A and B are shown apart, each in its own frame.
Chain A
Amino acid sequence: MSKGLKSRKKQRLIVLSTAVAALVGAVLLVLFALGGDSLSLFLQPSSVLEKKIQAGQRFRLGGLVQDGSFKKLEDGLTYKFVVTDCAADIPVQFKGLLPDLFREGQGVVTEGALDATGTFMADTVLAKHDENYTPKGTMPKNVEACEHPEKAAGY
């Protein structure tokens, strides 16, 4: 098979079938991977409570850091704060250096899972946004519920 030149038709057939196989493989890959852990939900506090997310399931939690909720624990490295969408709150615990743009009253995106007591144990706090606008999805859906919506908008 490998020796000799084939007709143009045959050559095209081989190239096409390899390409199709690669594409089908890629689609399967996508389906497989998107079904697994690599796909994480992005939720605001009220939808977390609504959907009754189980402890241990990883997801991204977005919302505003509630004013006055920020605390540092004894060890100096663990932080506690509350993420709110003005309708519901979720306490968050995070150990590590907080990103430069972390502020009370501003949007934040964290990644982790709930523990048995309902505290969100975050292992990542994302901060790849500038402070001119709220990171995508952290603006409360029911913004009227907030006392200071202009603050919620990040101005």
Chain B
Amino acid sequence: MIPEIGHFALAVALMLALVGAIVPHVGIARSDARLMGLADRVIYGQFLMALIAFGALTYAYVISDFSVLNVAANSHTAKPMLYKISGVWGNHEGSLMLWVLTLTLFASAVAWRGKELPLRFRSRVLAVQSALIVGFLIFILFTSNPFLRLDPVPVEGNGLNPLLQDPGLAFHPPMLYLGYVGLSIAFSFAVAALIEGEVTPLWARWVRPWTLSAWMLLTGGLVLGSWWAYYELGWGGWWFWDPVENAAFMPWLIASALLHSSIVVEKRDALKSWTILLAIIAFSFSLFGTFMVRSGVITSVHSFANDPERGLYILGFLAVVVGGSLSLYAWRAPKLSPSGLFGMVSRESALVLNNILLSTFAAVVLVGTLYPMMLEATGGAQITVGPPFFEFAAIVLMSPLIVALGFGPLLAWKRGRIGRAGQMLIPALIVALVAFLAVAWDSAGGLLMTGFGLGLALWLIVSVFLELFERLQLFKKPAKVLSRMKALPRATWGMSFAHLGIGVILLGITVSEAWTTEKLLIMAPGEQAEVAGFSFRLHGVEPVAGPNYTAIRGHFTVAEDGQVFNQLFPEDRVYTDQVMNTTEAAIAPIWTGDLYAVIGESAGEGKWSVRLYFKPFISFLWLGATFMIVGGIFSLTDRRKRIGAPKGKRNKSAAGAA
């Protein structure tokens, strides 16, 4: 009964979404405030229906109702409750339900919090959002119904892929989805602005919290995924330039660009049509990412779906959304009021450079991801584009970005002076050069790229501090620093934190790539191995049992200078509900890096194959990402957003005129 209620709720939601996608436009055309106001209520209704449907599915998972095909295919009674619940979105149908739930949730937030938006504009936004919801609901109801029944009812479920039974992966997909859906709001705002034919600084201020939240969630999602790969896949890698990763990385790049260009719209009333275009592209990449992962055009652990019918639908939906919005853009964008002017050297120019580099990088990643598929589709050879390609592109395109990042915040709006900024950054340049020369000299020229990366990272970190000191006037009026710290807008703190985070991540990447020590060997209990000055001693290997797996567990102690200071328990698990091995690496973070141990299979005679690593500074990756997210939170709670945007005068008059 409950699944049928969920199914019915989805159907009702579709009807409501159809109404919500059409009626507000009619209301606007007829200047009928009642019809326009309907948009709010219809959105709340859709949210309620989506919530009921999602609740029904979750309930089926919690009680292990195997009469529902989706539950039987992806769940198991012996699974811990956390993974029963995360199993709801750990599959194709359920993840789409999550999409719809968050789409309606965010749209409701716009309806609820957006009272200061002019009614006409808000109705447009919500109507566009409803149209997107229609697209997703049709997809679910006609190709991916999660409430299909199964007859006869199986006694036990199939189980969730053991690789996915992991706290990191339980929350990685929903975070990414929340990020994608956050970008849908920016998209709806952009399309509504194009229909209305006006983009104002106020528009940018309304969009910014959404872009910012989406960006934070995408950052969090990417980091969780990469952290998961780092400890679960068992070879210490954290990024593989896999198509699935690229699919999530491209929206992040464009969202970062959008975040910066919308500042220019807000503060300087410039770059308007470019910002609109970025908002459209950012969401298009989100849809495209879903298409790639869901349609089965690529195969990896992330792509559960392998169904051409679904692929064709998503492709069609993508064509309508992207093609439609870009046509609208081509038609309406030239009519937008002209942008403000700025000098060649100015904050605006620096942000334009940021945008050009980030977008170009996204374009290169896109080409590298699609090229093998297109070549294969056109009957060419099967090839793969490997990490060297992407790494090379990252170095060429992101290095100038990081150099410019030091200057950008020091330049004034409209017309800046590069000489003055340069003077202030001299200490950063010195630190960077010293680091580069030290590494180059120490390795006798062997680690030039490491030196370069280290120099760049330190340049960025030092310049973030220099810029902050300048704002606080630390050296001019040291007594007043505390009061100035309080007066500094949170958005500024947010910027410094986020930029610092990038420097810290770069530092982590450079150091861990260059100085990781790895040993692959056979060990018998009692034996000892030296890795990067630490001695790992294997004490024993014993069988252990978990709720739905059995495992062998190794016991290592780690000593430095004869002093034991850490223990490691790597496992090799065999899951029983879907027979499969997983490697559970044991990782112990210490100040200078991570101790990392993996236990492999038995080598006979009581010996075991093991893999031991020391990965210096790898935690800086997660630390830097945390800084970026913290920066986002600071910026999100900035005063000018907390107290809400002032009423839009220009928009209102425009609403009255039309």
A-chain residues with CB within 8 Å of residue B603 when the two chains form the complex: 72, 76-77
> Are B364 and A29 in contact (CB-based, < 8 A)?
yes
Closest beta carbon of chain B to A124's beta carbon, Å: 9
B-chain residues with CB within 8 Å of residue A6 when the two chains form the complex: 341, 343-344
CB within 8 A of A41: which of B367, B383, B393, B581? Answer: B383
Can you list 11 A-B contacts (CB < 8 A)? Answer: A6-B344, A8-B339, A29-B392, A29-B397, A33-B392, A43-B382, A76-B607, A97-B520, A100-B581, A128-B233, A128-B240
> Are B385 and A5 in contact (CB-based, < 8 A)?
no
- The answer for the CA separation of A137 and B611 in the assembled complex, in Å, is 29
- The answer for the CA separation of A113 and B497 in the assembled complex, in Å, is 45
B-chain residues with CB within 8 Å of residue A43 when the two chains form the complex: 382
Stretch from B209-217, B293-301, B322-330, B541-549 at the A interface: B293-301
Q: Mark A1-32, 1 if CB is under 8 A from B, else 0.
A: 11111111001001100110011011001100
> Are A34 and B371 in contact (CB-based, < 8 A)?
yes
Which of A11, A60, A129, A131 has the most B CB atoms < 10 Å from its CB? A11
Closest beta carbon of chain B to A60's beta carbon, Å: 6
A-chain residues with CB within 8 Å of residue B240 when the two chains form the complex: 128
Which 7 pairs between the two chains have the least Cβ-Cβ distance?
A38-B389, A76-B603, A38-B388, A42-B382, A100-B581, A136-B299, A76-B522
CB within 8 A of A34: which of B356, B389, B520? Answer: B389
- The answer for the CA separation of A41 and B233 in the assembled complex, in Å, is 25
B residues 552-608 touching A (CB-CB < 8 Å): 578, 580-583, 598, 600, 603-604, 607
> Are B382 and A128 in contact (CB-based, < 8 A)?
no
> Are B356 and A22 in contact (CB-based, < 8 A)?
yes
- The answer for the CA separation of A101 and B162 in the assembled complex, in Å, is 12
B387 nearest in chain A by CB position: A38
Q: B149 at the A/B interface (Cβ < 8 Å)?
A: no
B242 nearest in chain A by CB position: A128
CB within 8 A of B235: which of A34, A97, A130, A137? Answer: A97
> Are A4 and B343 in contact (CB-based, < 8 A)?
yes
A-chain residues with CB within 8 Å of residue B235 when the two chains form the complex: 97
> Are B583 and A100 in contact (CB-based, < 8 A)?
yes
B-chain residues with CB within 8 Å of residue A11 when the two chains form the complex: 341-342
B389 nearest in chain A by CB position: A38
B-chain residues with CB within 8 Å of residue A34 when the two chains form the complex: 371, 385, 389
B240 nearest in chain A by CB position: A128
Q: B306 at the A/B interface (Cβ < 8 Å)?
A: yes
A-chain residues with CB within 8 Å of residue B55 when the two chains form the complex: none
> Are B522 and A26 in contact (CB-based, < 8 A)?
no
Given contacts A3-B415, A22-B356, A34-B371, contact A129 B301 (CB under 8 A): yes
Q: B421 at the A/B interface (Cβ < 8 Å)?
A: no
Given contacts A8-B338, A100-B583, A129-B299, contact A29 B396 (CB under 8 A): yes
B-chain residues with CB within 8 Å of residue A75 when the two chains form the complex: 522
Q: A96 at the A/B interface (Cβ < 8 Å)?
A: yes
CB within 8 A of B298: which of A42, A60, A136? Answer: A136
- The answer for the CA separation of A72 and B522 in the assembled complex, in Å, is 13
Closest beta carbon of chain A to B383's beta carbon, Å: 6
> Are A26 and B397 in contact (CB-based, < 8 A)?
yes
A-chain residues with CB within 8 Å of residue B582 when the two chains form the complex: 100
A136 nearest in chain B by CB position: B299
Assign chain A's interface to a size class: 35 or more
A-chain residues with CB within 8 Å of residue B234 when the two chains form the complex: 97, 99-100
Which of A40, A97, A131 has the most B CB atoms < 10 Å from its CB? A97
> Are A128 and B341 in contact (CB-based, < 8 A)?
no
Q: A80 at the A/B interface (Cβ < 8 Å)?
A: no
A100 nearest in chain B by CB position: B581
B302 nearest in chain A by CB position: A128
B355 nearest in chain A by CB position: A19
CB within 8 A of B343: which of A3, A18, A41, A97? Answer: A3
Given contacts A43-B382, A95-B520, contact A33 B389 (CB under 8 A): yes
B396 nearest in chain A by CB position: A29
- The answer for the CA separation of A137 and B298 in the assembled complex, in Å, is 11
> Are B609 and A37 in contact (CB-based, < 8 A)?
no
Q: B163 at the A/B interface (Cβ < 8 Å)?
A: yes
- The answer for the CA separation of A14 and B603 in the assembled complex, in Å, is 65
- The answer for the CA separation of A29 and B390 in the assembled complex, in Å, is 10
Closest beta carbon of chain A to B198's beta carbon, Å: 18
**Interface residues in chain B, defined as those with a beta carbon under 8 Å from any beta carbon in chain A:** 161, 163, 233-235, 240, 242, 298-301, 306, 338-339, 341-345, 352-353, 356-357, 360-361, 363-364, 367-368, 371, 381-390, 392-393, 396-397, 414-415, 418, 520-522, 578, 580-583, 598, 600, 603-604, 607, 609, 611
Q: A135 at the A/B interface (Cβ < 8 Å)?
A: yes
A41 nearest in chain B by CB position: B383
B-chain residues with CB within 8 Å of residue A33 when the two chains form the complex: 388-389, 392-393
> Are A128 and B360 in contact (CB-based, < 8 A)?
no
> Are A38 and B352 in contact (CB-based, < 8 A)?
no
CB within 8 A of A97: which of B344, B381, B382, B609? Answer: B609
> Are A97 and B357 in contact (CB-based, < 8 A)?
no
> Are B522 and A1 in contact (CB-based, < 8 A)?
no
Q: A116 at the A/B interface (Cβ < 8 Å)?
A: no
Given contacts A33-B388, A40-B386, A128-B300, contact A5 B306 (CB under 8 A): no
Closest beta carbon of chain B to A72's beta carbon, Å: 8
Seed contacts A2-B345, A101-B580, A130-B163; 9 additional CB < 8 Å A-B pairs: A2-B418, A29-B392, A60-B384, A77-B521, A97-B598, A97-B600, A101-B581, A128-B240, A128-B300
A124 nearest in chain B by CB position: B235
> Are A97 and B392 in contact (CB-based, < 8 A)?
no
> Are A18 and B353 in contact (CB-based, < 8 A)?
yes
B-chain residues with CB within 8 Å of residue A131 when the two chains form the complex: 578, 580
Closest beta carbon of chain A to B339's beta carbon, Å: 8
> Are B385 and A97 in contact (CB-based, < 8 A)?
no
Which of B299, B300, B578 has the most A CB atoms < 10 Å from its CB? B299
Closest beta carbon of chain A to B268's beta carbon, Å: 12
- The answer for the CA separation of A131 and B161 in the assembled complex, in Å, is 9
B-chain residues with CB within 8 Å of residue A99 when the two chains form the complex: 233-234
Closest beta carbon of chain B to A38's beta carbon, Å: 4
B-chain residues with CB within 8 Å of residue A97 when the two chains form the complex: 234-235, 520, 583, 598, 600, 609, 611
- The answer for the CA separation of A6 and B364 in the assembled complex, in Å, is 32
B-chain residues with CB within 8 Å of residue A7 when the two chains form the complex: 341
> Are B385 and A38 in contact (CB-based, < 8 A)?
yes
- The answer for the CA separation of A37 and B392 in the assembled complex, in Å, is 11
> Are A18 and B392 in contact (CB-based, < 8 A)?
no
- The answer for the CA separation of A128 and B364 in the assembled complex, in Å, is 24
A-chain residues with CB within 8 Å of residue B371 when the two chains form the complex: 34
